Amino acid sequence: MTAWLGTDTFIEIIYLIATALFIFALVWMRTPATARRGVRAGEIGMLLAIGGTLLNHNIIEYKWIAIALVLGSIIGVPLGMVHMTAVPQRTALSHAFGAFCVTLVGTAEFYLRAPAVPPFMMSVLSMEVILGALTFTGSLMAAGKLQEILPQRPITYKGQNLVNLLLLAVAIGIAAYLVHDPSRVHLFPLMLIIPLIFGVLMIIPIGGADMPTVISLLNSYAGLSAAAMGFVLDSKLLIIAGALDGASGLILSVNMSRAMNRSFSNVLFGAFGQEAIAGATAQQARPVRSATAEEAAAILGAASKVIIVPGYGMAVAQAQHKVRELYDALSKRGVDVKFAIHPVAGRMPGHMNVLLAEADIPYDKLLDMEEVNDEFPQADVALVIGANDVTNPAARNETSSPIYGMPILDVDKARTVMVIKRSMSPGFAGIDNPLYYLDKTLMLFGDAKSFVNSIVHELAGGHN
C-alpha cells in the first residue's frame, strides 16, 4: 500500500491535480470577488505537489530537505508581511529568488550529467541557466534601485547596447559550443558568469519610470527559465507553471510598453531609458497660476464630479491615507469622486490600485485609462497628485516631444485642473509639462501628504 503511494503514476496524478488547481487559481484572479479563492486553489495545488514529491522513492535523505523547507518558510514570512509601499521591490526580490533556485538546479543537473549531455538536454539546460542567471542579478539590481540602496538615476554610456548584446551573444555562443561538445565542462562556469554580469548591465540604464516594464519582463524571464527547467527534469507540472508565469509576464510587459509608447522589440532587448535624457529641454520661466489649500478646498467642495489622478509621487509621500480622507470628505458632500489609474503609474503594474485599496478606497472607484478618459470632459476638477508624464498633453500633439504618442489621461479636458507638486522642477523624465501653464490649471505647491491634509482640514472647517 505504502509502496503504491510512492509510484511515479500516483505522483504524476497528484501533479496533474496541482496543475489544474494552478490554472483555476489564475482563472479566479479575474475579479476581486473570486480572487482570494484563486489564492486558496494555488496554495492547495502547491501543498499537494510538494507532498507528492516527498513521497518519491528516489529520495533517500530527508534531513536537508526538511532544514531547507523550514529555513525557506522562515525567510518567506517576513517577505510576505512587508509594507504595501514596498511591494515593487519585494516582487523584484522574489523574481531573483525564483531565478536563483532555477539557476542552482540547472548548474547541479549539468555537473551530474556532464560530460555526456544529449544535444537537446544541453540546449534547454543552457537556456535555463542563462535566463536564470541574468534574471537573478537583473532582479537584484531592480530591487536595489526600488529600495533606493542603488542610485535610481539611469546610468548610460556610449555603445551600451552593443556591449550588452555582445555579452549575450558570447554566452549564447558558449551554449552552442557546449551543445556541440558537452565534454568542455570548464566552459560551463563562463556560461554562468556572463549572464550574471549581463543582468547587472541590463538594469544599469533603467530609470524608475521604466520599472513597471522591467519588472514585468523579469517576471516573464523567471517563468521561462522555470519552464526550461521543466524540460530538463521532464516535469510537465513545471513546464506548465513556467509557461503560465512566462505568459503572464509577457502580457504585462506588452501592456506596459504600449502604455509608454515603446515598441515591444525595444523592450525585449532591454533598450530602455535612453529617451529620458533626450527629453531634457531648456526651460523658460512661464507664468503659472497657483492656489492655496483654502482656494482648492472651496473649488473641490463646490464641484459635483472630481477625478483624482494618483502617481508615484503619492506613493513616495505616503499620501494614500490622506487621499482617502479627502475622498470621504468630498463623498459626504455628495461629490462624485473617482480615481484615474494610468497603466504605468507607480513602479509596477497595478501599483496604485494596491495602495488605494490599502487605504480602503472601494475598487469600483478605481478606473483604468480607457474607462476614465471619456469622463474627464464631464469632470469639474481633475486633481493630479504626484503624477506627471502620464498627464502631459504634449504626448498627444507635439511630435518633437520624447513622449509623443504615449497614451495619456485626458486631464486637460476637465473644467479645472489642480496639480499638487513640490516645485516646478520637471519630473523624472525631465520633460516639461504644458499642462501646468494652461489657464484652467491651478498649481498647488507642497508635499502631497500635507497639502491634501490641509485641503481636508479646510473642507471640514468650511462645513461646520
CB 213 within 8 A of CB 257: yes
Which CB atom, from 111 or from 157, has the smaller least distance to another protein?
111
Which residues, 84 to 143, sit near another protein by CB under 8 A? 84, 87, 90-91, 94-95, 97-98, 100-102, 104-105, 107-109, 111-112, 118, 120
Strand order in the sheet with 336-341: 366-368, 336-341, 305-310, 381-385, 416-421, 441-445
Which of residues 10, 16, 53, 415 is near another protein by CB under 8 A?
Answer: 53
Which CB atom, from 24 or from 436, has the smaller least distance to another protein?
24
Which of residues 180, 236, 286, 463 is near another protein by CB under 8 A?
Answer: 236
CB 207 within 8 A of CB 148: no
Residue 385's DSSP bridge partners are: 310, 420
User: Is 325 one of the binding residues for another protein (CB under 8 A)?
Assistant: no
User: Is 46 one of the binding residues for another protein (CB under 8 A)?
Assistant: yes
Q: Using CA atoms, how far apart are residues 228 and 125, in angstroms rounded to an integer?
A: 7
Handedness of CA 397, 402, 408, 414 (dihedral sign): negative
For 345-365, what is the HEC assignment?
CCCCCCHHHHHHHHCCCCHHH
Which of helix, strand or coil describes residue 457?
A: helix
* Cell numbers at 352, concatenated: 496604485
**Residue 145: which residues within 8 A CB-CB, separation 6 or more?**
151, 152, 203, 206, 208, 211
User: What stretch of H or E contains 420?
Assistant: strand 416-421
Which CB atom, from 268 or from 278, has the smaller least distance to another protein?
268
Give the number of other Cβ atoms within 10 Å of residue 113's Cβ.
15
Q: Among residues 360, 364, 374, 389, which one is catalytic?
A: 389
Give yes or no: 234 in active site: no
**Residue 453 Cα distances to 3, 326, 434, angstroms:** 67, 8, 27
Which of residues 125, 227, 297, 317 is near another protein by CB under 8 A?
Answer: 227
User: Is 362 one of the binding residues for another protein (CB under 8 A)?
Assistant: yes
Which of helix, strand or coil describes residue 371?
A: helix
Q: Using CA atoms, how far apart are residues 198 and 273, in angstroms rounded to an integer?
A: 16
User: Is 223 one of the binding residues for another protein (CB under 8 A)?
Assistant: yes
Which CB atom, from 364 or from 439, has the smaller least distance to another protein?
364
- Least distance from C-beta 447 to another protein, angstroms? 25
User: Is 49 one of the binding residues for another protein (CB under 8 A)?
Assistant: yes
Which CB atom, from 46 or from 187, has the smaller least distance to another protein?
46
Number of residues engaging another protein in binding (CB under 8 A): 113
* Cell numbers at 65, concatenated: 530537505
User: Is 310 one of the binding residues for another protein (CB under 8 A)?
Assistant: no
User: Is 298 one of the binding residues for another protein (CB under 8 A)?
Assistant: no
- Least distance from C-beta 168 to another protein, angstroms? 23
Which of helix, strand or coil describes residue 267?
A: helix
Which of residues 8, 12, 43, 398 is near another protein by CB under 8 A?
Answer: 43
Which of residues 16, 17, 23, 170 is near another protein by CB under 8 A?
Answer: 23
The stretch near another protein (CB under 8 A) out of 142-150, 188-196, 225-233, 434-442 is: 225-233
User: Is 251 one of the binding residues for another protein (CB under 8 A)?
Assistant: yes
**Residue 424 Cα distances to 2, 104, 253, 419, angstroms:** 72, 49, 31, 11
User: Is 363 one of the binding residues for another protein (CB under 8 A)?
Assistant: yes
User: Is 314 one of the binding residues for another protein (CB under 8 A)?
Assistant: no
User: Is 221 one of the binding residues for another protein (CB under 8 A)?
Assistant: no
Which of helix, strand or coil describes residue 159?
A: coil
The stretch near another protein (CB under 8 A) out of 179-187, 216-224, 301-309, 383-391 is: 216-224
- Least distance from C-beta 328 to another protein, angstroms? 12
User: Is 374 one of the binding residues for another protein (CB under 8 A)?
Assistant: no
- Least distance from C-beta 163 to another protein, angstroms? 29
Which CB atom, from 68 or from 280, has the smaller least distance to another protein?
68
* Cell numbers at 126, concatenated: 543552457
CB 21 within 8 A of CB 41: yes
Residues marked as catalytic = 389
